[in-house]
Amino acid sequence: MCGIVGYIGTRPALPILIRGLRSLEYRGYDSAGVATPGTDGLRIVKASGRLDRLIERVEQTVDDTATIGIAHTRWATHGPPTEANAHPHADCSGAVAVVHNGIIENFSELKLWLEKSGHRFVSETDTEVLAHLIEEYHENDLSASVRAALRHLRGTYGLAVMHAAHPREIVVARLGSPIVIGIGTGETLVASDPSALVGTTRNVMYLDDGEMARLDASGVQVTTLQAAPVEKALQEIQWTEKEIEKGGFAHYMLKEMHEQPETVRSALRGRLASDGGVTLGAFSDLRAALKDMRRIQIIACGSAYYASLVGAQMIERLARIPVSVDLASEYRYREPVMPSRTALLAVSQSGETADTLAALRLAKNAGLMTMGIVNAVGSTIAREVDAGIYNHAGPEIGVASTKAFVSQLSVFLVFALALGRERGLPPDEAERIAKALELLPMQIERVLRSRDQVAEWASQLSEKRHVMYLGRTLHYPIALEGALKLKEVSYLHAEGYASGEMKHGPIAMVEAGFPVVALAPHDAVFEKVKNNLEEVRARGAKTFAVTTPEGLRTLGRAADNALEIPTTHPLVQPILSVIPLQMLAYETAVAKGLDVDKPRNLAKSVTVE
């Protein structure tokens, strides 16, 4: 959610810190700040609003020769997005600077205790108590002071700390919020997301929960919160700085939509043969357990949840295994039944989604076999599951997920095929699906060329206040995803419904000019969706349909507007169908003059509840 960057080395720190913050802007924020050594302690500069405001202040007030510093972008949680509430936060003397992601649940009681001890608070945030706790316990060892402070906390944190009395070190710690450390030549970095490090180093290590580290220019020493040494292996970030640039596109979202043909190729590469054979190396040791499995529980949030609703149908159709799908935030608290011979599958683009991670750990503690579909290599979920599949979508910078969603659907289908082959799926059916997936990248490219038509739809929707999306079976979750995309970037109220539920309430919303977008490929339920369109059109709705060539010929007057997409295998069709809905959300936001890549109130990775 919020973003952390820190640097210690021989080069000026500020340009590296600012570049790191720039790379984290996509995560969402409403204030920013930086701390570096000054002539009489630490110098902290903060600003509300966009990063450019901070940069203006930094250029006016900060000595740019400092070779150590920490910086932060904040999404307001405790207290509004004011300069006082921005990070870094200091103690009473100004000797301590703290940047923090997460939530300190018991900050109110800690604040009362510290105030009675004479500490003076200047913000409304939970984070400030950390700075005062470190001040309270500080003697000569910064790591020991941080360790003592953390013993009082209840909640989650990823944090970085500087102290004026220790001008050549940064202390970091993690519990429930990501921290990644970058190792360069004569320099060490820290960030909450590896994208902030790519421009400086690609050699990283990831802290696990309950670990902390002391950073200096020569390297890093990792320990537990109990001061026991921890050996950490270095990993290499697999993508380059070029991959997190816009590459000539107006927005990251537009760029990432156009990367989707390659996204599908990457998801399939080395895994799927043209005859339908599937190779998933990570699952080789679990092959017997997978074959004996009686049930799968899938947990996810947001777009990953909608991808999972599609994936559940893919698995049930091909492998004939009962599958349930839960919002991870609900699964945690509803006392779920976890019978034996059940596997839990966690789906998360970032691999750090707080609710999904907590639900995963609940299942692990219950003894379930755990699996994951994750895009971020080295992420916490990827490290904690028994076996997993990487999306290989590359970095997704746009807050509204596009290529990660498509890669999740692609990986789900490959996984469903693998299970199906183990459980008697006819080889000819597997081959048909494999051939359809081989054609999918070219078909996506064809749909992306429909931008002008989609933009014309967007010009109509941009003047509306409400939009309804309809779909059935595999396309019901795609309707949900299409509505979510429109809400996220255009701020129009949109809802997705299963078409068969229209008469159970939603049709009451329909009036003259009310826009209804239907997913209507010519499949087994085409006639039913067509009837739904007729029903809403008879009540004055303005109808839009995403359909296939045969559907286009037979929709007739049911659709005022129709966009044609290629016909493919029924299980592949929803992957194609979502592309126009992504484009429609994007073009509607553009037509309204909105900042597509920085939608209000949203963050790319939700690492707190």
Residue 223 is encoded by which pair of tokens?
């320990």
Contact 499, 472 (CB under 8 A): yes
Q: Report CA-CA distances (Å) from 445 to 70, 260, 306, 394, 448.
A: 43, 8, 23, 18, 5
* Residue bearing tokens 């990248």: 441
What whole-number distance in Å separates Cα of residue 78 and Cα of residue 257? Answer: 35
Cα-based distances in Å from 579 to 388, 390, 447, 549: 26, 21, 7, 16
Contact 200, 182 (CB under 8 A): yes
CA distance 375 to 394: 7
Helix (H) or strand (E) holding 159: strand 157-163
Nearest to 369 by CA among 354, 391, 356, 384: 384
Query: Does 435 qualify as catalytic in the annotation?
Result: no
Segment (H or E) for 6: strand 3-8
Q: What share of the chain is helix, strand, coil (3-state, %, to 5)?
A: 40, 25, 35
Interior angle at CA 586, CA 585 and CA 590, nearest 5: 120
Structure-token match 């007729």, residue found:
534
- Of the residues 2, 46, 111, 487, which is catalytic? 2
In this structure, the number of other CB atoms found within 10 A of the CB of residue 2 comes to 29
d(CA 475, CA 481): 10
CA distance 566 to 446: 8
CB-CB contact of 295 with 322 (8 Å): yes
Buried b (16+ CB within 10 A) or exposed e, 40-63: ebbbbbbbbeebeebbebbeeebe
Active-site hit among 46, 403, 487, 604: 604
Q: Could you tell me which residues are beta bridge partners of residue 561?
A: 544
Backbone phi, psi, residue 25, to 5°: -60, -35
Q: What stretch of H or E contains 410?
A: helix 403-422
Cα Rg of the chain, angstroms: 25
Token pair for 264: 């599908």
> Residue 518: enclosing H or E segment and its boundaries?
strand 515-520
**Separation CA 256–CA 444 (nearest Å):** 13
The 3 state secondary structure assigned to 219-254 is EEEEEECCCCECCCCCEECCCCHHHHCCCCCCCHHH
Question: How far is it, in rounded angstroms, from Cα 497 to Cα 475?
Answer: 10
End-to-end CA distance of the chain: 11
Tell me the C-alpha distance between 181 and 20, whole Å: 13
Q: Would you call 301 a catalytic residue per the annotation?
A: no
Q: Give the residue numbers marked as catalytic.
A: 2, 604
